[in-house]
Structure 1
C-alpha cells in the first residue's frame, strides 16, 4: 500500500474499519484510480469522551483529500455494484423510505450498502424529490447534534459536584466537540447537552472555590 497524500492537504475520512483486509482492498482500488490517500489509525488507549458510547472508534482510517472525496466514493461503490446481495441481507426487505434514508446519509453506511441501495433505487424508480427531502432532514439532524451519552453526562456531574477539574474538562469537551461530515462541521452534541455541560462547568468551579475556602479555613485554625 502506498501513502501518497501530502501532509498539508485538507483531508477527510473515506473509510473507518477494524479489518486490515478491507483497508488493503480499498487502498488497492485507490492506487488503481490514482487517488492519493493516507492509511493511519486512531489513537490507542482510553478516551474519557467515549464513555457511554457503544463500541469505540475503529482503529484503522483511510484519509483522502477533500476534493477527491466524490470520485473516491464513486470508485469504492463501483467495486461493489456487480456483487449480488447476500441471502439474509437487511436490504432485501428494505422499504422505499429506508432506501432513501440510506442514500440521504451516505457517510453512515458501508460502500457495499450504498451501491446496493442505489441499484434498488434505480430499479424502483424512486423519486429524486423524495431523496432531496430526506437529505435536507438528515442535514438538519446533523446540525442539531445528538444527545450526549447518559453515562458521560452522569460522570461529568459527579465530578463537578466534588469540585474536580476533570468535570470542567468534560463540560468543555461536550461543548466544543464537533462532528466532521461531508455536509460540513457541526456540533457533536445537541443544545440540551451543551447547556447541561455549561452548568456542569459552573457548578464545578463553584464547588472548587467552596472546597478551597473550606480547606484554607480549617488549616488556619
Structure 2
C-alpha cells in the first residue's frame, strides 16, 4: 500500500529538485510526483496550477519539516531590508505565524524575526500553540455539500456516470494537513450521502447496461 504523503508543492521542477537534494543530503528519502487535479475538493470548478510534489514517508515528516525550516532560517541574513514583509503590521505578521500553511517557510521565519525586532517575542511554545490551533481549524470538514448531494442523487437515479463520480468524491476525498496527516474532506453526513449516491448510481448503471444488452 502506498503511504507516501505530500511534504511540499512547487510550481517549477527546479525548486522541487532542490528540495529533494537538500533532504537527500540529510538522509531523508523522497520521491517526486507531478499532479494536476481535475477539480478542487469543493467542486467549485477551480483547477490548481501545474504542481510538482515532493513526497515522503509520514514517519519522516517532522524531521523533513525541521530540515526545511533550518534551511530558511539560514537564509534570513540574506533578506534585504526592503522585503515586502517589513511593510506588514504586527497583526499581519502574527497572522502569518497563525497560518503557516498559507505562506512559505522563509516568510514564516522572517515574520517571526521582524516581530522579534519590534519587541514582540514569540517563543517556540507560543508558536506550537498557534500551530495546534490552526490544525484544529483545518480539521473541520468542508461546508455541507447540499446542492452536490441533491445533484448526485438525481444523476445516480438517471443512471449517469456523473452520479457515481460525485458519490465517490464525497465519501473518499481527503485533504492533507500541515503536519502530514490525511483526513476526510467532508462531514460524516455528506460522506454517508456520497456512499448512497455511489451505490445507487452503480446499481442503476449496471441495470441499464444489462437491459441494453438483453433487449437493445
Q: TM-score, normalised by structure 1?
A: 0.66
Gaps of 5+ in 1: 1-7
Q: CA contact under 8 A between 1:142 and 1:186: conserved in structure 2?
A: no
Q: How far is the alpha carbon of 1:9 from its aligned partner?
A: 10
Q: Following TM superposition, by how much is the alpha carbon of 1:187 offset from its aligned partner in structure 2, in angstroms?
A: 1.7
Tell me how far 1:130 sits from its aligned partner: 6.4
- The within-5 A match list for 1:166-185 is 166-181=162-177, 182=179, 184-185=181-182
1:55 & 1:201 partners in 2: Cα distance? Answer: 23
Partner Cα distance (1:148, 1:53) in 2: 17
Q: Is the 8 A contact 2:32 2:53 kept in 1?
A: yes
Q: Supply the distance in 2 between the matched residues of 1:36 and 1:155 (Cα, whole angstroms).
A: 45
CA distance in 2, matches of 1:148, 1:87: 43
Residue in 1 aligned with 2:65? 70
> Shift of residue 17 of structure 1?
0.7
Aligned to 1:38: 30
The residue number in structure 1 matching 2:10 is 17
Change (3 A) 1:29 1:69: closer
Counterpart of 2:191?
194
Please give the residue correspondences for 1:156-167 in structure 2 after superposition, counting only pairs within 5 Å: 156=152, 159-167=155-163
Compute the RMSD of aligned alpha carbons: 4.3
**Following TM superposition, by how much is the alpha carbon of 1:150 offset from its aligned partner in structure 2, in angstroms?**
9.3
Gaps spanning 5+ residues in structure 2: where? none
